[in-house]
Amino acid sequence: MAINLGDSAHEAAWRKEVRSFIDRETPDALRGSGEMGEGSLFGRLGAIKEWRDRVAARGWIAPSWPAKYGGADMSIVDQFVMNEEFAEAGVPGNLGGFGVMMIGPTLIEHGTEEQKSEHLSRILKGEVIWCQGYSEPGAGSDLAALQTRAVRDGDEYVINGQKIWTTGAQFSDWMYMLVRTDPDAPKHRGITYLLVDMKSPGVTVRPLTTLAGTQTFNEVFFEDVRVPVRNRVGEENRGWYVGTTTLDFERSSIGNAIGVRKALEGLMRQARDGKEASFVRNPRVKTEFVDRWIECEVAKMLSYRVVSMQVRGLIPNYEASMCKMFSSELQQRIAGLSMHLYGMHGGVRNRASMGYMQAVSSTIAGGTTEVQKGIIATRGLGLPRG
């Protein structure tokens, strides 16, 4: 059967519109931002806000949301094309963070009208930052083993426990989290989904320093934290099913697929024009460049497969795991190529070494490679659980 990877007339026109918008509206400080130095940081922050305002004016912050909630009623393909063009241009694409990617779609699907009214417009306006309270010290890959407790006390829940690897918690205003409300139920049951104000008494956030010296992740402690029952999303003890709702059209990972290719293109320019060019004469390094380029094309095709399923009304399962696993492992291989390109100089604290250290977590965050392999084996290949 022939496969058409080209655009339809509508898609081609839409792609042209997005490209025109990017060319016309991108602030100067964000053009070629990958080459900017640290001295430009504050200028970039202002430019990102300016860019966000321009994208928001089009309803493109959450393009797949219904228009009545501030979205643009876009089709799956329209959003995919927009994400692809933003990634190709190197301009910020995920301008709503977890608010748009995760909790917003969840509230649209499962939230009360009061919750939608309180939170959705503030998410789109960038007035609040959200973080995700899922992983715990003893419940990461096996998330359903979580033990953070929430006990009902009248019109409130009282939370005690700990979350970890919480991205951006030190900057967040709200957290959407999973808690155990029935310790005697099977582990996938007895879990409830709550919205927690991070300024609530008893919430303590402690940043964690990564191998690269950054403080991206945090551990969060809850000591007798009181949360109104009205902040529960869905039914009590049915939070697992709310928490696994997947409405994010970025499951295709097209941004990641293009991002790793852009990183590889940067290395290719460095190899051709930079002082490390002599290392390219090493046959091993030259072969690595070829292999990585082919793998970037594979990552893009895996993304196309996922979005094509969504267009047909199918729910990607193991296919999304294939996307995630392949792209994250490829990110690490490209980081390794960067180190090989720099040779012994790669051991110095520079862009190559920092990128290499930051890539370590890519096969852990968002579900470990081992978990993805299990999903692919059982749901994709039909193998028995080990």
Q: What is the pLDDT of residues 272-326, one digit of tens each?
A: 776 655 555 677 878 889 999 999 999 999 999 988 888 888 878 899 889 999 9
How far apart CA 138 and CA 261 sit, in angstroms, is: 35
Boundary (domain end) residue, out of 222, 243, 264: 243
CATH number of the domain encompassing residue 147? 2.40.110.10
How far apart CA 263 and CA 295 sit, in angstroms, is: 13
Boundary (domain end) residue, out of 243, 278, 293: 243
Give domain status of residue 295, yes or no: yes
Comparing CA positions, the residue from 153, 148, 124, 152 lying closest to residue 137 is: 148
| Exposed / middle / buried, residue 337 (Cβ in 10 Å: 0-12, 13-18, 19+) | buried
How much is the pLDDT for 386?
A: 65
Q: Looking at the structure, do residues 297 and 193 belong to the same domain, yes or no?
A: no
Q: Looking at the structure, do residues 176 and 204 belong to the same domain, yes or no?
A: yes
Supply 15's token pair.
Answer: 């792609």
Q: Looking at the structure, do residues 80 and 159 belong to the same domain, yes or no?
A: no
How much is the pLDDT for 274?
A: 66
For tokens 């690490």, the residue is 332
Active-site position among 85, 136, 219, 250: 250
Amino acid making up residue 32: G
How much is the pLDDT for 281?
A: 66
- Residue 25 known to be catalytic: no
Q: How many domains does the chain have?
A: 3
Boundary (domain end) residue, out of 95, 120, 155: 95
Q: Looking at the structure, do residues 162 and 238 belong to the same domain, yes or no?
A: yes
How much is the pLDDT for 154?
A: 97
* Residue numbers of the domain that contains 211: 130-243
Give domain status of residue 115, yes or no: no
CATH number of the domain encompassing residue 341? 1.20.140.10
Q: Looking at the structure, do residues 256 and 234 belong to the same domain, yes or no?
A: no
Q: Looking at the structure, do residues 221 and 260 belong to the same domain, yes or no?
A: no
Q: Looking at the structure, do residues 255 and 230 belong to the same domain, yes or no?
A: no
Give domain status of residue 124, yes or no: no
How far apart CA 257 and CA 93 sit, in angstroms, is: 14
Q: Looking at the structure, do residues 288 and 167 belong to the same domain, yes or no?
A: no
Q: Looking at the structure, do residues 199 and 80 belong to the same domain, yes or no?
A: no
How much is the pLDDT for 176?
A: 96
Give domain status of residue 122, yes or no: no
User: What's the average pLDDT block by block, 10 residues per block, for the chain (386 residues)?
Assistant: 76 96 93 47 73 90 87 88 92 87 90 95 91 90 90 98 94 96 93 98 94 86 98 96 63 78 88 65 82 95 90 85 92 89 68 81 83 90 85
Give domain status of residue 4, yes or no: no
